[in-house]
Structure 1
Amino acid sequence: MLNRTAIIKQPDKISFFNDVYKLQKEYQQALILDNSKPDFIWIGEHQLCYTLGRGSNYDNLLFSLNDEKYDVFKIDRGGEVTCHMPGQLVTYLVLDLKNFNKDLNWYLRKIEKIIIKILGTYNIECHLKNGLTGVWTGNKKIASIGIGCKRWITINGFAINFDCELENFNKIIPCGIKDCLMANMIDFNKNLNIKEVKRIVKKIIQEEFNFDFVSK
């Protein structure tokens, strides 16, 4: 596999979803126009919001879209409704799959493998479920995946629940899965540090995609 240069951003502050989504779209468009441009990785946290994928069933949103208390975004990814919030570690990957494998199923399986490796670093036993995208520990979901792709340039990525207010998921049917229970990483180890987990996320992504990271 060729070495690829990727710009990486890891803000310490809690970011607004829409700001980072616009940034992803800018990098995606740059890669579409010129595939010699670097890929882009973002690792961080969001202020509370809900996002809906293409073709999402609005019945899975358990509050009114007119309720100004909640920020809701309809975005370019597959999958149903999910929730982002502080304490949830979100990773976005804007990659040119032509440099890896032009196969979205391969890419989804690669992301699942990355998540399992991250969690395995902390001895959190997890698994996949047939017919569903994401990663579970026992009967609870601990990580969600949602990707978009245009001309083989990806957007969006995955979210791992680190230490977030899981009650926020009660406002939706997460990923369209009824009675879906959620888990946090700190349920398994109270001493985990989110900055350390970010470092492991960066390391494993670098290894799996053979990236040379630059800050820009």
Structure 2
Amino acid sequence: MVLNPQFSCRLCWLYSCGLVPYQQAWEWQKSLVRDRLSHPEAPETLLLLEHPPVYTLGQGATLEHLKFDPDTAPYELHRTERGGEVTYHCPGQIVGYPILNLKLFQPDLHWYLRQLEEVTIQTLEVYGLRGDRIPGLTGVWVEGYKVAAIGIKVSRWVTMHGFALNVRPDLDGFKQIVPCGIADRPVGRMADWIPDIDPAKVRQTLATTFARVFGLELMRAPHELELLLPH
């Protein structure tokens, strides 16, 4: 599922940020969305990063999928404006936050979710892994193990939040939740099949694949993200 060529060659600023606290990345996203809503024709943006251990809940997520008291959570716990249930982020998991104006692509949330799945499927293919979709569910699985989770928020067709690909994270944190509210499907990581997988190389592959799927030209961002935040 690749974007129609008529939409190709739009510019996309790429921020490759390393390990970033969740709250900081969240503020970056909100600032970028505000700016994009004010400038609909501006370049697209993709943030690729990793987070210290953190749990996040979707806007309507139930606390029943937590296996701990939220008042004494083992790591930070945030309720966000994205869709979906609870998930876990930690080092070794590559997170992508696209800030896109879907009016310039296809203003269709189901289409957008399938495109994000396609980014991870094509990335897995580069490493010899077959990524599968499961009808009725969002995300990507390898041999029945969920390796990519997706949760988005769209405001006036401008996107935030995005996808998370498990490259070589410590999966223990997932044992404290029902990941994405799906109790009968285990979580996996690329390292389960490729023990020496390099997250830095996967990050590069993700960026290249994202640009290809969405028909974008990636460019290094012209300024630091910290400059986007109000003082």
- 1:178 aligned residue: 183
- 2:88 aligned residue: 83
Distance in 2 of aligned mates of 1:179 and 1:130: 15
- 1:95 aligned residue: 100
- 1:10 aligned residue: 16
Distance in 2 of aligned mates of 1:112 and 1:69: 30
Contact 1:173 1:180 in 2 (8 A): no
User: Which of 163, 166, 169 pairs up with 1:164?
Assistant: 169
Q: 1:71 to 1:190 in 2, by over 3 A?
A: same
1:112 aligns with 2:117: yes
SS at match of 1:182: coil
Distance in 2 of aligned mates of 1:191 and 1:172: 27
Distance in 2 of aligned mates of 1:212 and 1:183: 31
Distance in 2 of aligned mates of 1:213 and 1:32: 21
1:19-58 matched pairs, under 5 angstroms: 19-58=24-63
One-letter amino acid matched to 2:13: I
One-letter amino acid matched to 2:187: M
Q: 1:67 to 1:39 in 2, by over 3 A?
A: same
SS at match of 1:212: strand
Distance in 2 of aligned mates of 1:69 and 1:108: 30
RMSD of Structure 2 on Structure 1 (CA) = 1.1
Aligned length: 215
Distance in 1 of aligned mates of 2:16 and 2:65: 31
1:60-71 matched pairs, under 5 angstroms: 60-67=65-72, 69-71=74-76
SS at match of 1:181: coil
Distance in 2 of aligned mates of 1:127 and 1:99: 28
Instruction: Provide the TM-score with structure 2 as the length reference.
Output: 0.90
Distance in 1 of aligned mates of 2:114 and 2:131: 14
How far does residue 210 in structure 1 lie from its aligned partner after superposition? Answer: 2.1
Divergent runs of 4+, >2 A? none
Percent identical residues:
33
How far does residue 114 in structure 1 lie from its aligned partner after superposition? Answer: 1.1
Distance in 2 of aligned mates of 1:116 and 1:149: 22
